Amino acid sequence: MKKHTLRLALLSLLIGATASHAQNPLNFGSDIKTADPSAHVWQDGKMYLYTSHDEECQQDFWMKNWHVFSSEDLVNWKDHGAVLSVDDLSWADNYAWAPDAAYKNGKYYLVFPAGSGHKDRVNPEKSTKWMGIGIAESDSPTGPFKDAIGAPLWREPYANDPALFIDDDGKAYLYFHGTNFDYYVVEMAEDMRSIRGAFQKMDMGGYEPKMEGPWVFKRGDKYYFTMPENNRALAYYMSDSPAGPWQYQGVFMEQEHNSNNHHSIVEYKGQWLLFYHRWLDTAASSCEKRQRHSAAEYLYFNDDGTIQKVRRTERGVADFAERVKSVIAHKD
């Protein structure tokens, strides 16, 4: 009996150890399907992920709300629930796709795409689908967020996949994917409720592949424009300005399963991190197809500021807390 109990205890420890060392996809405490993770570190020192929410076995990316998750160790996450829904909008009823967030003027802002209509993939000329970009605000990073203007920021061009970048001087730049309108940037007004001036076509150094999901960040004196090149592999440019001109640097994460990717890059507690989504088979799923799940990896830079290639791993950032402790101990 004692041997049997000991075996069970050892098995339990082994299962626990395995689970603690396998964190891709990220464990949000349920079987929720998420994609397009937008990562931000706010003044309270926590990591926040703003994600789109895939309905179980959803039809053609018909999506209805956005979720927020927070963590201090990147292993234990709190789901703050749906912080905004298309039901809260008067100008859209579907396509709650990839969001982003920003903090400015003492408020938290959620910039999001949404739309209406139907995309006819067989007869594209019959499609009625339209998408625009909205802006919502809250006093809390976990919402709830309220549609700030009751309308999209603009109606033409058709646009989605917004990315907000707040520069050191407080200026806010909005990047996005638009139909026949990629590689444009526009500055946000000071109150974050409208755009300021005209759309600016950026100089991409002569290389402009099909893209979605841009993400812009700054490291040192360099700005990075990152994106899924041809909507698959993650690639990047570098510049001395948030509006370019940009110089193409290449792919830093290859595609997987010939499926799309969407990502964010942020520094947290001395570690640079890449958040992205994976298309994975799910044992508990009611349909037999890959579905999207948020994941994370460490990101490393070369001495010249270029990004090293990133491999997808099952472990991900499961040892984040141990790494942070090691860095602190080394400094002491």
How confident is the model at residue 178, as a pLDDT?
96
The tally of CA atoms less than 13 A away on the side-chain side of residue 330 is 7
pTM of the model: 0.92
How many Å apart are CA 46 and CA 23, to the nearest integer?
A: 18
What are the b/e assignments for 279-313, b being 16+ CB within 10 Å?
A: bbebeeeeeeeebbbbbbbbbeeeeeeebeebeee
Can you tell me whether residue 328 is helix, strand or coil?
Answer: helix
How many Å apart are CA 68 and CA 86, to the nearest integer?
A: 15
How confident is the model at residue 1, as a pLDDT?
45
The tokens describing 97, both together, are: 């796709």
Q: Tell me, what amino acid is at 81?
A: G
Tens digit of each residue's pLDDT, the chain (332 residues): 444 444 433 333 333 343 445 689 999 999 999 999 999 999 999 999 999 999 998 989 999 999 999 999 999 999 999 999 999 999 999 999 999 999 999 999 999 999 999 999 999 999 999 999 999 999 999 999 999 999 999 999 999 999 999 999 999 999 999 999 999 999 999 999 999 999 999 999 999 999 999 999 999 999 999 999 999 999 999 999 999 999 999 999 999 999 999 999 999 999 999 999 999 988 777 888 899 999 999 999 999 999 999 999 999 999 999 999 987 777 76
The tokens describing 293, both together, are: 């799940």
Q: Which helix (H) or strand (E) holds 325?
A: helix 320-331
How many Å apart are CA 36 and CA 263, to the nearest integer?
A: 6
Strand partners, 268: 271
Domain boundaries, the chain: 34-331
Tell me the CA distances in angstroms from 91 to 4, 26, 134, one per residue in order. Answer: 62, 33, 9
What CATH number labels 34-331? 2.115.10.20
How many Å apart are CA 142 and CA 71, to the nearest integer?
A: 12
How confident is the model at residue 10, as a pLDDT?
36
How confident is the model at residue 46, as a pLDDT?
98
DSSP structure class, residue 151:
S
Q: Which helix (H) or strand (E) holds 19?
A: helix 2-20
How confident is the model at residue 332, as a pLDDT?
64
Query: Is residue 38 a contact partner of residue 47, using CB atoms and an 8 Å limit?
Result: no
Strand partners, 177: 160
